[in-house]
Amino acid sequence: MIDIPAGTVTLSDRRTSRRWQVGLDAFRIAALPVTQELYARVTGSRPSAAPGDLLPVENVSWWDTIHFCNSLSEQDGLLPAYRVHGDEVEWDRSAGGYRLPTEAEWEYACRAGTSGPHYAPLDDIAWYRENSGERPHEVGTKQPNAWGLHDMLGNVWNWCWDLYDPEVYGAYRVLRGGGWFDEHWSCRASARRRSHPTYRVDDVGFRVARSGA
């Protein structure tokens, strides 16, 4: 886990041409996406389409990530961040357990103080359609950003906590970062995608965060 300092990030949405600023407290975020080995160790399940211990786990729904975070918290003796009530989830913001990053936290951590679409040349930092061979790759094999975070762009999309646009898309949640099958324009710090929280796709994974630093 990497300590991320408090700060402010400006988010944008190309579909609506909307921009909004978010202030953030200090938090922690994993240096790497959750791997298949870690996911299997915590859940006993190996859902991925492309097997490999050090590959990022994929084919996981947003709901799968919520249950993973709570299970990992319990295994590490931490208070789980999520209270699950049927088909609703409540985030206990006072809990110190593992959770998904908000999309503001994700973009702030991805940028690591930069302001362009990428924190370095894309081929140096990301697995995407032009260099991936149309498959995921082991985590941590591309250069990290200035804060030590690998695979923030490319390899697999990252689930975030947030609803995408509840008035238009209902329960759909935010995805960030781009994946191994995406063109370069989807692998940008500001790019947003959405998916239903029950969907499982072979280029969507996640990384964990924790409140506080």
Using the 8-state DSSP alphabet, how is residue 184 labeled?
A: G
Domain boundaries, the chain: 2-38+48-59+99-211
CA 104 from centre of chain: 11
- Please state the rounded mean pLDDT for residues 166-178: 94
Is residue 12 pLDDT above 90, yes or no? no
Q: What is the pTM of this model?
A: 0.95
Q: Can you identify the CATH homologous superfamily of domain 2-38+48-59+99-211?
A: paralog of FGE (formylglycine-generating enzyme) (3.90.1580.10)
pLDDT band for position 213 (50/70/90)? Answer: low
Using the 8-state DSSP alphabet, how is residue 168 labeled?
A: H
* 25, two tokens: 């407290």
Angle CA 165–167–173, to nearest 5 = 30
CB 195 within 8 A of CB 201: yes
Angle CA 71–72–75, to nearest 5 = 90
- pLDDT of 88-120, one tens digit each? 999 999 999 999 999 999 999 999 999 889 999
Of 193, 172, 122, 174, nearest to 152 by C-alpha is 122
Residue 211 has a pLDDT of 94
